[in-house]
Amino acid sequence: MLFDTHSHLYFEPLSDDPDGVIARMLRNGVDRAVQIGCDIPSSLKAIELSWEYPEFLRATVGIHPSECTSLRIEETMEELESILIQNRDSIVGIGEAGLDYHWISEPPGDSILTEEELRDFHITQQKSIADIQKIWFRAQAELAEKYHLPLIIHTRDARKDTLACISDFPVNFAIMHCYSEDPDFAYALLAHSPEIYFSFSGILTYKKSDPIRETARILPLDRILIETDAPFLAPQPVRGSVNESTYVRYVFEQLCAIRTESPEEIEQTLWENSCRVYGWR
């Protein structure tokens, strides 16, 4: 039995045929999946999916770093909390939250800036985006802590700040979603809190992912989870196609290929880890 700990079944084209996605998932021994919210509307869709398929799906509610703006932070967090209170049985985590410095806004197309001005623009932009993302990150960390739920953390090109936030806020119970860093970063996080889990996605199967495979090879097995992040990041054997929960099997197979434990032990431990972290018995 496999458990896809992170997916977005409400995104097109998966949302066109959720019955088909669920049927294929069950046929291939993937028995559970968690639907991750990225903003208020998608969090509500994730909850609705968990109502429709209560045996197989649960939801999280949260604001993705790419959705963070300087507007309505307090109201939105209040709304998120009231959604959480009203749907406590369906919701198993907060997020995805975190920091994403990959995309920096471009200056207006018609501006004529010198190279130095352009560099300054980028630094200023990046700084203010980072500050706003940190405010949302902290607010969601507090919400997760208040309800004893795991915080699902997205981090991209922001390793130093992510580590600083996790120890400052602090965050003690979390899932590093789509883990794409080396072992040093993982051990720095584990040194901060033993209740941090590492979820590996299709990226684990890509050719250039040696540092990520090394992390998955050496981490304690009881800290490891697997996910699809569907419809994104299809694993190598199906790369380029729409990802879906059934393909979490490729991530599992890659993990088995690099670990010393038997596939049976890995499968059983991943299942127990996933049920434990999400409190889904």
Give min distance, CB of 116 to Zn ion, in A: 37
Which residues from 24-53 bind Zn ion, rule CB under 5 A?
Answer: none
Residue 100 touching Zn ion (CB under 5 A) = no
Nearest residue (beta carbon) to Zn ion: 229
Which CB sits closer to Zn ion, 42 or 90? 42
Least separation, in Å, of the C-beta of 60 and Zn ion? Answer: 10
CA atoms within 13 A on the CB side of 235: 21
Cβ closest to Zn ion, residue 4 vs residue 229: 229
Q: In which order are the strands placed within the sheet that holds 2-7?
A: 2-7, 30-35, 57-61, 91-100, 151-156, 174-176, 196-200, 224-226
CB of 229 to Zn ion, least distance (A): 5
Handedness of CA 16, 22, 23, 24 (dihedral sign): positive
Question: Based on CB atoms, which residue is closest to Zn ion, 4 or 161?
Answer: 4
Find the shortest distance in angstroms from Cβ 263 to Zn ion: 26
Which parts of 206-265 interact with Zn ion (CB under 5 A)?
229
Closest to 150 (Cα-Cα) out of 213, 197, 218, 219: 197
Q: What phi and psi, each to the nearest 5 degrees, are found at residue 224?
A: -100, 140
Comparison of 161 and 227: residue with beta carbon closer to Zn ion: 227
Residues binding Zn ion (CB under 5 A): 229
